[in-house]
Structure 1
Amino acid sequence: MTVHFQEVVPVDTYSVQCKGVLHEVDHKVLAMLYQPLVGAFAHSLYMTLWCEANMDQQTKKHQHLMNVTQFSLKDILSGRKKLEAIGLLKTFKKVGETSREYIYELQPPLSPNAFFTDGFLSIYLFNRLGKAKFNEVRESFYITQFDVSDYKDVTASFNEVFTSLHPSEMSSKSYAEITENVLPEDAALHEKGVHGKVVLGEETFDFESMVNQISTFIVPKEVLTPKLKEAIYKLAYIYQLQPTDMSKQIQNVYYSAGEISVENLRREIQKWYRFEHEERLPVLALKTQPVPLKALQGMEPKSKEEELIKYFEEVSPYQLLEDYSGTTPSEVDLKLVAYCMLDQNLTPGVTNVLLDYVLSENDMKLAKGLIERIASHWARKKAQTVPEAMELARDEKRKYKDWQEKKTKSGSYRANKKPNVTVPDWLKQETGSNIKTEESSSTEDENRKWLESLLNSSK
């Protein structure tokens, strides 16, 4: 896992440039549509960089950015990554002998129409805001269109207002002076309507595998244009489609329509998804830990704890709940998972640790209040990896144990029967000086058996 100071340090310099200009409606789009997805700090970082770009073009150190925002470099890097991922920022880096130089190129946001018809960001906004708030926000961007069918178009034409130029004024020399490139090499004119776009890495979907499963007798390969390829990556990511499923949808569309476009492919996949998932939007519970945040990526576990880390990193929260119960997770439990991942922005791996901890400590019940309290605490701690979450879970257990002991000593604690739930090995506080009794040895054996059965059931 790459730590922030390996990527940027306070003395590294940066310059900011803009790809276009911000209009009044863009500010509303950033605040109402992008901010719920990237968070308040990333939105603030974007506006800070935009102000700096319009003030001057001087090169600054990242220490300056830390002073202005009053945030740590780790938080600034996290906010920067969110802006890059959502299509609002491009970052360029040059490594020198003693430091690194960055250029931050700000991208204007999508227009309201492009955002809500994108079929990608709008789904994530829907999941973040909920149906009622999503519709309210979308309606705030509506523009009333007047019915002009009973009116006559009386708009003046150019030639009705302006006189034509004399032939002497249209010399070839004048035309050449107008059309030649008079801009310096390091400058460009502002463009209106240029915006950034979300780009998904090719590792998110095996495109070649999908192509190999498409019959060339049904769909000619030239149909898969670069624009359609980009849409396929996005649709596969949103709807969690495997190459086999995507190839079937493409062949169905082309066979029925004789052509294929981004829009008719999206409609076909939406129809298929509704049939498969009973009108539900894609659930985040099916996502797994991102590769950059996997502590054991490409490594073999060397201990029982590492085996559990690997398990939490490889399965989705949905699969973890399914492993625990042996049945399909309930809608109530999936809503708690969505709260952790959407409202508190926890990663799938961290969510897995939280679910495992609460189930182990709470008689196999996912208590809403307990989930929300721990999730908000871990979010404030900025836990992103499984080991970080496991350490926080150990702290939670220690604090609960201390609280129980204090209540017992004060005499105000009424003993209740403790649920017969085995606590995972990784939750136990490691102590080197404890004397192992026959009873503790027996408990340890039971814990090992529990962990082995859990790992075996997840394979």
Structure 2
Amino acid sequence: MRIGNMHQFTEHHRYYSYRDFSLSAVDRKMIGLIYQPMIGAFATGLYQLFYQLVPDDRVGYSPLEPQRKLFLGSGLDMHERGRQEFVEQASRLEAVGLLQTSRLGVPDSDDYVYEYELIKPLSPDEFFRNPHLMLLLRDKVGKYAVISLRESFYEKEADELAGAELARDNITVPFYELFKLNAQTVDVELEQALSEVAPTRSPAAKPQLETAGIQYGEIISRFPRNSANRKYVERLRGDEEQMAQLNFVAYKYSLTVVDLCRLLDEDDVFSTRGELMMDELQLRASQMYRQDRKRDEDRLRMQGRMEAASAGEQGDTGDEPLEEVAVQEEFYMEVPAQLAGRCDIHQYNMLMRNEPHTRFVTRFFPGAVPEWIIRVFEVIDLNYRLTGSVINVLIHYVLGMNDAQRVTKTYIDAVASNMLVKRIDSFEKAVRYVRDQVRMEKDRELRQAGGAAGGKASGGARGAASGRTRGRKPAMAIVQEAGELAVSQEELEEMRRLARKLDGNK
């Protein structure tokens, strides 16, 4: 219970309790043997007092009464020390999930009404699957006592059946094979009566999201006390929807409790009214996820370098070299221009199939290999997990066959990503992939060449048409100088006859 001022929690304030369950024998045993060592006998006695306020054979609400009855029933004096003791014991019940307290404001009044909602104890299976509760019990009674307590809740299976692998045949009779309902008639009066006597408190169905399993208690126990956002974080207590969204963000970006507390402590994560800005939180969680991933990749590459260095030192002491794998002629690749004359096709393909990529890439450069190229293939090796022979085929494709000189980090990374997507995990698959890519590039160049030739043939007409549609003024034909034309005597005489005829018509 969070009570800022003890004058707001006195024996004069009214209260009521609510529960929607009844305790079974196993539940009572759980309270006595499991919960009581964790929270003490006073807190479990207070739980029993709340439980008895509603008849044992019913569920629902207790009468609305002053809290004086609670103090007297708990044996507490009605002064500030007694109120603090009651708050402490109720907080113990809340911390282990047996009680939920709410303060209700009375309209048109400064008075408060306190609601004590009891929660059913966990079953033995649920309790021992809950890590923080089980660890608390271990700290209180010891691990051997925890094992003994767990065994006390279960009856062992017969020895004859425990180790046997028996075939299970479900012979249960379903409902509709035994009973037939008359669904033709609808009893309106019955439905109305049931709706009138239905409980006013009904749990609302909420969509279930994937969760990281982070509880409010884990967040608030690690959150800084002097943080400006602490008052907003404290409002998350009891807000199941916000906690579900936080757990989904933590699950989505692999955040721990410490990472989530760090994000909630940053500026602009909460609005001025204390509302959680989920979009801003997801943006910062994504940035943290990318940074963590980059650090993991760098750490993995550094570890790979150290392992390679240690393996090299061990290899110098006389370890056996790896066995070479032969390359079939149908998977031979042509020797690049950079290596022409230095090795034949058989030697080149054997190097590409068996040599480490760190040595194979140096053969394409007369001097030192650029540092950025080393880093790119290091990422492909250690982070993308492509095999060595596939990386060598990738080097052959981007360095040996790239006539357009598109050797950039983006291009190499795009080709490697495409290989990953297409599950290229062997030398033979990589060779087929490269040949398919070369064939596709040639087909694309042929189509572009054909399109360019067609464009030149119809360039004038298409240019005029496009000019008429785009421009405001119509495209006018331009008279080009054609030079002198040779005219025969007969053509000249025909032209003169037409000119006389036109003069006569005038």
| TM-score, normalising length: structure 2 | 0.37
Q: Greater CA radius of gyration, 1 or 2?
A: 2
**Which protein, 1 or 2, shows the higher relative CO under an 8 Å CA cutoff with sep ≥ 6?**
1
| TM-score, normalising length: structure 1 | 0.41
